[in-house]
Structures are given as C-alpha cells and as structure tokens.
Amino acid sequence: MLSLALGLITMPVQAQNAALNARIAQLATQEESKVIAWRRDIHEHPELGNQETRTAALIAAHLKKLGLEVQTGVARTGVVGILRGGKPGSVVALRADMDGLPLTEANDLPFASKVTTTYLGQPVGVMHACGHDTHVAMLMGAAEVLSQVKKDLPGTVKFIFQPAEEGSLPGVEGGAKLMVKEGVLDKPKVDAVFGIHINAQTEVGNLTYRSGGEMASADRFTIKVHGKGAHGAYPWNSVDPVVTAAQIILGLQTIVSRQIKLIDDAAVVTVGTINGGVRYNVIPPDVELSGTIRALSPAVQQQIWASIRRIATNIAESAGATADVNIEPYVPVTTNAPDLTARMLPTLRAVAGSTHVREIKAVTGAEDFSFYQEKVPGLFLFVGGMTPGTDPATTADHHTAGFRIDESGLTLGVKTLATLAADYLSGAKR
Ligand code: NI
C-alpha cells in the first residue's frame, strides 16, 4: 500500500516501471561490447571449480569500481556484491556460476582456451564448455546497468558469483551448497533469487523456463554385492556376485518402467560402472556397481531411493549374497516456485517479446541453483545462445570440446537479469 501511495504522488507505479525498464533495456544494449569482451577474456582463461581466483579478482574489481559492497572468498572463491537502491524495499539476488570444465577446447577461435592443468592426477585441458563464462559476463553487465539506475530501485540487489557449480573434487564441499551454508542468503536476507543459463541449442533471442520441477535432482548410488569366491570351474562352491549383480542391474530397470508414475514426471536410474573380478576363470567374492538417479520431485526421488534399496538387498538375499546400498544425495530438484514464476512471466514477455518466451519440458540434467531455491523462492531460466537458423541437432552440446555460443544472445541475458531484479523490487504487475 505504501508504495502505491507514494507512486500516486509522483507517477503511477506502472508508468515508473515502464520508464525504468526502457532505461535498463537501453543501458543493456550499450553494454554489449563490454560484456562480449569480458566473456572472451574469461573464456580464454578458464578455471576449474574452487580455483576461480583470476575470475573472482576480475569480478571483485568490477563491482568495487561500480561502488558496490563487495565480499570475496565466499565458499573459497565466490564473490558477492551488494547494491543498495535509492528507496527502501526487499532484497533480490541474481546468481552466476564461474567454473570451467576439465576438457580440451576444440574450437578455432582467437580467444579459445589453451589452459592445461591436472585433474584427479591426469593432465587435462580446461575449457568453459558449459557457458559459465557468459553467465559471469552477463551478470557483470547487469550489475553495471543496475548501478546506473540505483536511485530508482526500491530495495537491494545481491549479485552472487558462485564457484564450482559443476561439483567439487570427491569429498570436498563447495558450490551453491557451501555458499548457502556460509550465509549468502542472509545479511541482508534475500527474498527471491534469479539465475540464467545460456543454452547452445536454443536460438538467440529466446527465453525458456518451466514452472515447478525444471531440472532433475542428481544422486549417486553404489551397490556392493558380497558373495563368495570360487574357481570358475566349480560355481556351486560360490555365491556368485557377478550373476547377482547382473540380476540387480536388470531389477533396477523396473523402477522407472514399472514403479514410477511416468505420466506425472520423468525419472532416470542409470548404472554407470560395474567392477569385479580380475581373471576370466575366477569367480570373485565381490562386485561393485555405481550409478546416478535423476528425479523431478522430492517424492519420486524418495521413492527411487527406497526401490533401489529394496531391489538390491532382496535380489542379493535370494542368491544367498548381501548387498550394501549407499545413496549420496548430491543436488536437489531445481524447482521454480510457481507463484514467483507466474508473477515474473509478464517481465520475461516484455523483455524478450511474448513469442520468444516458451515453457519447456523438464530437463534430466541437474543444476546446483536448487540449493538457493530450497531456502528462498527462485526462478531459473535458459537464454538462447545458438545462431538463428542453425539445427540444434548438429550444434555441439554443453560439456563437449566443440561447445560454442553465439555472443549476440548475451544482451538479452543482461536485460532479463536486470529487469527481473527491477520488476521484482517494484512489485510490478504489468
Ligand atoms: Ni552449466
């Protein structure tokens, strides 16, 4: 009510938003060459998760220059910038991830990565093969745009530059989970969070989203089958863990096909490794399986966990063996709060044009943005990075050595991030 009353004294709220948003659009367009230059610099100097020191220094220097309050070293290499608007209001967070991947870039670009390092003991290249370089550049652009209109912003914008979205080394805590643990959503307390991912299979100029479960949870499981070893010629002396493991693998196939209500949600159970035995004519005592579980709602996720335990232990028991099942939850479901999604949809349509905003089917890939959404309502979107007219089927996928992005898509990302923040703070209903 207060903001409405104040609005009436000067200008109606909607008209104020229209003027502010037009200004944001204009500033974002002016930022384009800077954003592309930042992106190329970061692309040429990719860093693996929890090691993003050069990237973090670049971001921190930029945010300080803009006059923001800056925190560094959050969750090791993360950077947080706080922009206080000229009027009181709520707090909105915008998030970008900063890490590259252990891949050798195969693109012939003047700013292609030539960086190499060691990953899990192996010499590897380092590459921004998921577009996190564009995320950093777009959010740096949005920070510059919003800092130029800060006197008109009713509230506070928190810029979250997060390390290690792709996961940390085994046994190491990191990424969004650690940022939340270190209090990134407190002081000042964040009311809503927005994030954007570039997409190499979506045409430049388009935004896609899904209300509710958008990207899957990802959990790792291991099953250790303990039997009894024997000479391969005398299997009756064994409790064969190889045959038991094979039965368990087939049993797991019935979870998605026979137990999950697939008309509601997709789900995946994949066995990725089988390890056991050293010689062709020796039945080993143990076999170990590992795999990944993907679900689009916490209820289905729980159902799959219970099914894996039940199937593995009971099949093992039927063979006279035992199975130790270990499930490690990794990333929760990326869930776009339906109320917030519905509320911000007019903003997306205004920024991209209504024919360029599309609700998509859920994705069985995962994204650790979900850790913020567990605490506050959040909306995670995809912005097009594919050259118009290109066939997505022949465009290199994310996480491959030929991954590339059409940079003409970045300005829409900057506009979207900045306008989402401004409209959220204005409580805008178009
Ligand atoms: Ni990514």
Residue 170 confidence (pLDDT): 79
| Strand duo 282-283 + 357-359: pairing | unpaired
Residue 1 confidence (pLDDT): 44
For the stretch 379-396, pLDDT in tens is: 999 999 999 999 999 999
C-alpha 336 to ligand 1 mean position (Å): 17
Residue 15 confidence (pLDDT): 66
**Confidence check: pLDDT of 40 > 60:** yes
Residue 4 confidence (pLDDT): 47
Residue 168 confidence (pLDDT): 86
CA distances from 307 to 199, 221, 289, 397 (A): 34, 12, 16, 32
**Count of other CB atoms within 10 angstroms of residue 9:** 6
C-alpha 318 to ligand 1 mean position (Å): 43
For the stretch 240-287, pLDDT in tens is: 999 999 999 999 999 999 999 988 889 999 999 999 999 999 999 999
Residue 13 confidence (pLDDT): 62
C-alpha 135 to ligand 1 mean position (Å): 9
Spatial distance between the Cα atoms of 333 and 366, rounded to a whole number of angstroms: 7
C-alpha 237 to ligand 1 mean position (Å): 50
Of 163-172, 266-275, 326-335, which range is least confident? Answer: 163-172
Close Cβ partners of 12 (under 8 Å, ≥ 6 residues apart): none
User: According to the CATH classification, is domain 14-215+333-426 in 3.40.630.10?
Assistant: yes
Where, residue-wise, is CATH 3.30.70.360 in the chain? 217-331
β-bridge partners, 381: 196
Where, residue-wise, is CATH 3.40.630.10 in the chain? 14-215+333-426
Residue 169 confidence (pLDDT): 85
Spatial distance between the Cα atoms of 241 and 320, rounded to a whole number of angstroms: 10
Of 11-20, 32-41, 413-422, which range is least confident? Answer: 11-20
CA angle 368, 175, 89 (to 5 degrees): 75
Mean pLDDT of 328-343: 96
Residue 7 confidence (pLDDT): 44
Identify the H or E element spanning 244: helix 241-254
Q: Which fold has domain 217-331?
A: Alpha-Beta Plaits (3.30.70)
Q: Which of 313, 315, 314, 309 shows the shortest CA–CA distance to 323? A: 313
C-alpha 146 to ligand 1 mean position (Å): 24
Mean pLDDT of 202-216: 97
Mean pLDDT of 207-214: 97
C-alpha 233 to ligand 1 mean position (Å): 50
Higher pLDDT, 18 or 147: 147
Residue 202 confidence (pLDDT): 97
C-alpha 132 to ligand 1 mean position (Å): 6
**Count of other CB atoms within 10 angstroms of residue 407:** 19
Mean per-residue pLDDT over the chain, rounded = 95
Residue 5 confidence (pLDDT): 46
What percent of the chain has pLDDT above 70? 96
C-alpha 228 to ligand 1 mean position (Å): 44
C-alpha 225 to ligand 1 mean position (Å): 34
For the stretch 309-325, pLDDT in tens is: 999 999 999 999 999 99
C-alpha 167 to ligand 1 mean position (Å): 11
* Model confidence band, residue 219 (pLDDT cutoffs 50, 70, 90): very high
